[in-house]
Chains A and B, each alone.
Chain A
Amino acid sequence: MNTSKLFALAAGALVAFAGLTQAAEPLLINGAGSTFDLPAFSKWFDAYAKLDPNTRFNYQSIGSGGGQRQLLNETVDFGASDAPMTDEAMAKGPGKILHLPVVAGGVAIIYNLPGNPKLKLDGATLADIFLGKVAKWNDARIAALNPGVKLPDMEIIVVHRSDGSGTTFIFTDYLSSVSPAWKSQVGKDVSVKWPTGLGGKGSEGVAGQVKQLPGAIGYAELAYANQNKMPYADVKNAAGSFVSPSPESVSAALATATIPDDFRFSMVNPPGEKAYPIAGASWILVYQHQKKADHGEKLAGFLKWAVTEGQKLSAQLDYAPLPENVQQRVLKLVGTIKY
C-alpha cells in the first residue's frame, strides 16, 4: 500500500509538472476516499489520461469515511467508499448522491498452521472462531469440515484489522449474514468491537502477525494474500460448495447477487454455485446534479469508460471485473448524471 501511495504521489507530482508545461490548462477532477480503490484508480487515471489529455485526476486515499465526508462537504468532485452510505448520511448532502459500483474484491481467510494444509471452512464455524467460541484448531467442527487433514491441538489466535477498513466491513457483513449470534453481539461496520483476538494495523499488520504466530487466523483482501503467498481457506457458499477466492469467483458472486437499482447492495453469500461468499463492492459516489458543468461532463465521461473499458484492467490487480449485465446497469445510472 505504501509503495502505491508513493506511486500516486509521484504521479501527482508528474501531473502538476505536466500542468505547468502545457499551454492549455487541463481540467482537474478531485476525488477522495477508499484506500482499497487506490491501485485501480491509479491505473485507470493513467490509462485515461492517454485517451483524454485534457482531464487530470487528483485522488487522495484518505479512507472511505473521509471520502464520504469530503463529498458531503463538496470539497471533491467524487468520493469513493467500500461501504454504501446510509440514508441518514446521504440526507446531509445538498443533492442526490449516486452509488456507482466500480470494483469488487474478495476477502481471503488466511491462517498459519504447521504444514500449511488447505482448509475448508463454513460461515457458522468461521463466525464462532471469531467470536472465540471455537478456540482450538482440532475442534470437532473444524475437523468435520476437513476430513483427512491432521489438525493440531493448538489455540486459535484471531487476528483482525485494528484500523477502520472496508475489508473489515465486508468480512463482518458476511459474518452477520451467516451467524445470528455475530449479528446481535458484534454487527457489521468498518470497525467493530471484536470479541477476541489481536489487532494488526493495515493489511501488512494482519498478514505479518498471521505469518509469525503459529495457530493464527485472520482475513485480508485477496490481492494481499496472493502477494504474500499465504495459504487461504476455501469457504462454503450459499449453494453448499466450497469455493476458493479469485477474481473469477468474486465476479460470479457479483453476477448472482441481488442488486437494487440504487446499487447500495451487499453481495455477501450470494446464491451462485461458483460464487465466493466473502466479497464486496466498492463505490464511486457522485452527485446526480453536478454544479460545475465542465467537471460534470468530464467526470461522467470518465465513469462511462471506467465501468466498461476500465474493467478490463481490474483483473490484473486482483479485483473482480463487473459482469456485463452489471456494467450495463451502471452505465444507465451514469447516464442520469446532469450537468
Chain B
Amino acid sequence: MPDVATTVPKSAPGEHHLTQHKFGDHAFKWLTLFMALSVFALIGLIGYELAHGSTLALKKFGWRFLVSSDWDPVSEQFGALPFIFGTLVSSLIALVIAVPLSVASAVFLTEMAPRWLRQPLTIFIELLSAVPSVILGLWGIFVMVPWLRVHLFPWLKSTLGFLPLFQGPIYGVSMLAGGIILAIMIIPIITSVSREIIRSVPGLQREAAYALGATRWEVTRIAVLSYAKKGLFGATILGLGRALGETMAVTMVIGNRPEIAKSLFAPGYTLASVVANEFTEATTDLYLHALFELGLVLLGVTILVNALAQLLLKTLGGPGVKGQR
C-alpha cells in the first residue's frame, strides 16, 4: 500500500485548505491503524489470559499435555490429544460435507436460479445460521441422531464397511454425527460468502467464455469457479474457523468420549466441548488450569490451521478476493 502522505499533493506554504486536508488524512490513517492493531491486541490479550489461567497445568504437564490421552479429574492427570484429534476430525468432516454443498448452492443461486427463486432460497439458507446452537443440538439428539442410526449409518456400513472408517457398533451419537451437525452450521456462512464472491466475478469473463463457444458447465468451471477459487477457499476457511470452535450442538451429538477411534461411528470429543462440559463444576485448581490450557490449545490449533490455510492459499494461482476489486 502506498503511503497516504505521498498520494496527497505537497502543500505549498500558505495553502491552508490543503494542510487541513492532509491532517484529516493523517488522522484517518492513524485511526484505522489503531483499530486494526486493536484486533491483534485482543488476540494477544486472550492468549495471555489463557496462558495465565493455565500456569499450574503448563508447569506440571509441559509439552506432555499435547500428546497425552489421559483425562482423569479424580487422579488429576490431564492430556489434550483426544480432544485435539476430535476437533480436527469433526471439522474436517464438516468441511467435506459443507463445501461442495455450499459452493454448488452458491453457483446455483448466482448463475442458474430463476430470479423469483433466488431471494427466498437465499433467505432460507441464511435462516439456518439464525438457529441457536443449543436448539440445533437438541434437534440433533431427538431427530437427527435417531435417523442417522436407523437409516444412514447402517447403509454406510453395508456399502463402505470395508473401510475402517465405517466399521464397529453404531450408537448414533458419534464423530460423524458431530461432523454432520457442524456441516449444517457452517453451510450458511460458506454459501453466503461464496455467493458474494461468485457474484463479483466480472461479467466479461463469462461473456468471453460463451463467445468462445463454451457450454454453461464449462463457463461455470473455467470462467467462474476457477477465477473465484481463492475467494472460495477464503470462504471455506471462515467456515472452518466456526467449526473448530463450535461447542453446544457438537457436544450434544458427538458422544463425548475422549478416545482416538478409527471408526467415524465411534464417539469422539472436541476441545470446545470438554471446556463447556466441565468448566462449571471444576473444583480443584489444577483441574481448572487444565481446562484453561485446553482453551489455549484450541486457540493455538485455530491459529495454526489458519496459518496453514494461508500458506496453501499462496500456492493457489489466479486472482483471489483481492484481485476482484
Contact = CB atoms under 8 A, between A and B. Distances in A.
B278 interface: yes
Given A163-B281, A199-B257, A213-B172, 20 more contacts: A64-B280, A68-B283, A69-B283, A89-B283, A162-B256, A162-B277, A163-B276, A191-B278, A197-B257, A198-B173, A198-B255, A198-B256, A199-B256, A200-B173, A201-B137, A201-B252, A204-B141, A205-B141, A209-B173, A212-B141
Chain A CB within 10 A, most for which of B75, B141, B288: B141
Contacts of A208: 141-142
Which of A163, A188, A194 is packed against the most chain B CB atoms within 10 Å?
A163
Contacts of A194: 257
A63 B280 contact: yes
Nearest to A92: B285
Contacts of B278: 163-164, 191
A157 interface: yes
A279 interface: no
A189 B73 CA distance: 7
Contacts of B169: 155
Given A162-B256, A164-B281, A201-B252, A191 B172 contact: no
Given A186-B74, A199-B267, A205-B252, A212 B280 contact: no
B172 A163 contact: no
Interface in B236-278: 251-252, 255-257, 267, 269, 273, 276-278
A83 B146 contact: no
- Interface hub of A162, A191, A198, A209 (most chain B Cβ within 10 A): A162
A192 B283 contact: no
Interface in A6-25: none
Nearest to B146: A212
Contacts of B256: 162, 198-201
Interface residues of A, number: 38
Contacts of B282: 65, 164, 190-191
B280 A62 contact: yes
Contacts, number: 105
Contacts of A83: 283
14 contacts: A65-B282, A66-B280, A162-B256, A164-B278, A190-B281, A198-B173, A198-B256, A198-B257, A199-B255, A200-B252, A201-B256, A205-B252, A209-B141, A212-B141
Report the 6 A-B pairs with minimum CB-CB distance, sorted nearest first: A164-B281, A63-B280, A199-B256, A162-B256, A187-B74, A193-B72
B280 A188 contact: no
Contacts of A69: 283
B281 A198 contact: no
B283 A65 contact: yes
B149 interface: yes
B71 interface: yes
Nearest to B266: A198
Given A163-B278, A164-B278, A198-B257, A190 B141 contact: no
A246 interface: no
Interface string A54-85: 00000000111110110000000000000101
A62 B276 CA distance: 12
Interface string B135-148: 00110011001100
A208 B146 CA distance: 10
A165 interface: yes
Contacts of B280: 62-66, 163-164
Contacts of A68: 283
Contacts of B284: 89
A interface: dominant SS: loop
A260 to B, nearest CB: 20
Nearest to A89: B283
A64 B277 contact: no
Contacts of B172: 209, 212-213
Nearest to B137: A201
Given A192-B74, A193-B73, A198 B171 contact: yes
A188 B283 contact: no
Nearest to A81: B283
A69 B285 CA distance: 10
Contacts of A164: 277-282
Contacts of B74: 186-189, 192-193
A213 B173 CA distance: 10
Nearest to B174: A198
B251 A157 contact: no
A171 B145 CA distance: 27
B266 to A, nearest CB: 10
Of the candidates A165, A186, A187, A191, the one having the most CB atoms from chain B within 10 angstroms of its own CB is A191
Residue among B146, B269, B278 facing the most chain A CB atoms (10 A cut-off): B278
B46 to A, nearest CB: 21
Nearest to A205: B252
A168 to B, nearest CB: 9
Nearest to A211: B142
B251 A162 contact: yes
Given A204-B138, A212-B146, A212-B172, A192 B72 contact: yes
A189 B284 CA distance: 11
A192 B73 contact: yes
Interface string A238-259: 0000000000000000000000
A86 B313 CA distance: 53
Contacts of B277: 162-164, 191, 199, 201
A21 B41 CA distance: 43
Contacts of A205: 141, 252
